[in-house]
Amino acid sequence: MTQPNHVIAIDLMGGDDNPLTRLRAIQKFIIQNSQLNIQLFVGKFFHQKNQPVFQNLSKQIKVILTDDVIQMDESPLLALRQKRSSSLSKAIESVANKEAHAVLTAGNSGALVAFAKYWLRVDEVVERPALATVLPGYPKPTLLLDIGASLEYRAEDLYALAELGAKIAPKLFDCGSHPEVALLNVGTEHIKGHDTVQQADRLLQASALNYLGFCEGSHLFSGYADVICCDGFVGNITLKACEGLMKKLQNKQHLKWWQKWFCQFIDVNLNPAQYNGALLLGLDGLVVKAHGNSDEEGFFHALLRTAEYVNKQTKWGQQIQ
């Protein structure tokens, strides 16, 4: 499926799990995608300690050693000042230098946003990048943003976010050139919500966007709108709650053996690992964020999504961003 000569830069060091978990996912992926190349950014101390693992890698994987590694609980601003030679920073720099078509990391979200802004020019529409994911809605998918790049939004930021979403959605799935946009709130009535969403609602009503008004959490999976916007605090918590719920439903400890056996045939779409890989939008380059707690399967799917985004970008002949 993947076109030849595509290169994905991967920050192997970012994530809660041991980097070797992610390396296994990459090796599995490479076997199935023989025409794709990986730039693997690895902290040199980790590389030294695990040398045997790196000796027999596929030729499609090029290991690049870096001096530093950014921890998951590190301050993004300190990291930006002190760790430009980290695996995360170097992987993003590779996209800025057009040496890779996309970058993938499961690392520190704050540091990712900080370095992405540093290396990749921010889009003129938005002051700051936003994390977005495509939800598997029925009868049609929905682009949800922001799911965690910025936690606090003013009304004008929500407006810019809606413009960004409306610009990107048609490049990701079939929704026409004028996608329907909604603002996430506690109710659909215009009196609902706090001042920020109320003001944003007024701005959006006066805009040229195909704006539907407020929507509720229950609309996220119902194909209510092509684009649903919210601040990163709400988006992040909501998405993780839904993933947690799906995991709970997948936990079949309470089922009998024959029920467990049956489940394998009906709930393939339940697997949250399949939806791993959020896009960081509003930048001059393709940046994909995998969950911090991605396991091997989750990181594999994030890699699959990254390759799909690279393909879509090639197909469109222009940046998804």
Which residue from 50, 233, 271, 320 is in contact with a copy of itself, where contact means CB under 8 A? 233
Question: If residue 149 lies in a helix (H) or strand (E), which one and from where to where?
Answer: none
CA distance 294 to 286: 20
What's the closest the beta carbon of residue 238 comes to a copy of itself, in angstroms?
5
CA distance 225 to 185: 14
Q: Binding of a copy of itself at residue 236 (CB under 8 A)?
A: yes
Which residue from 1, 127, 237, 250 is in contact with a copy of itself, where contact means CB under 8 A? 237
Pick from 235, 220, 111, 80: nearest CA to 161 = 235
Q: Binding of a copy of itself at residue 263 (CB under 8 A)?
A: yes
CA distance 58 to 250: 34
Task: Look at the chain and count its residues.
Answer: 321
Which residue from 152, 174, 264, 317 is in contact with a copy of itself, where contact means CB under 8 A? 152
Choices 40-48, 161-169, 191-199, 313-321 (CB under 8 A): range interacting with a copy of itself: 191-199
Given the complex with a copy of itself, which of 46 and 153 has the nearer CB atom?
Answer: 153
What's the closest the beta carbon of residue 272 comes to a copy of itself, in angstroms?
9
Eight-class DSSP state of 271: -
Question: If residue 214 lies in a helix (H) or strand (E), which one and from where to where?
Answer: strand 210-215
- Tell me the two tokens of residue 140: 């049609």
Say which residues have a Cβ less than 8 Å from residue 254's Cβ, sequence separation at least 6: none
Q: Distance of CA 201 to CAs 5, 193, 194, 197, 214, Å? A: 44, 10, 11, 6, 7
> Most distant CA pair in the chain: distance in Å?
63
| Cα angle, residue 173 at apex, residues 171 and 175 outer, rounded to 5° | 95
Residues touching a copy of itself: how many (CB under 8 A)?
56
In this structure, the number of other CB atoms found within 10 A of the CB of residue 220 comes to 22
Q: Binding of a copy of itself at residue 239 (CB under 8 A)?
A: yes
Give me the 72-91 binding string for a copy of itself, x by CB under 8 A, dash otherwise. Answer: xxxx----------------
According to CB under 8 A, which residues from 98 to 137 bind a copy of itself?
Answer: 109, 137
What's the closest the beta carbon of residue 220 comes to a copy of itself, in angstroms?
5
Choices 62-70, 84-92, 180-188, 295-303 (CB under 8 A): range interacting with a copy of itself: 180-188
Given the complex with a copy of itself, which of 42 and 181 has the nearer CB atom?
Answer: 181
Given the complex with a copy of itself, which of 170 and 217 has the nearer CB atom?
Answer: 217
According to CB under 8 A, which residues from 46 to 75 bind a copy of itself?
Answer: 72-75
CA distance 199 to 186: 15
CA distance 155 to 132: 19
Which residue from 165, 193, 277, 285 is in contact with a copy of itself, where contact means CB under 8 A? 193
What's the closest the beta carbon of residue 78 comes to a copy of itself, in angstroms?
10
Choices 35-43, 163-171, 216-224, 281-289 (CB under 8 A): range interacting with a copy of itself: 216-224
Pick from 182, 181, 130, 120: nearest CA to 151 = 130
CA distance 104 to 321: 15
Residues at the site binding a copy of itself, with contacts judged by CB under 8 A: 72-75, 109, 137-138, 148, 151-152, 184-187, 189-191, 193-194, 216-222, 230, 232-234, 236-249, 251, 253-255, 259, 262-263, 265-267, 270, 292
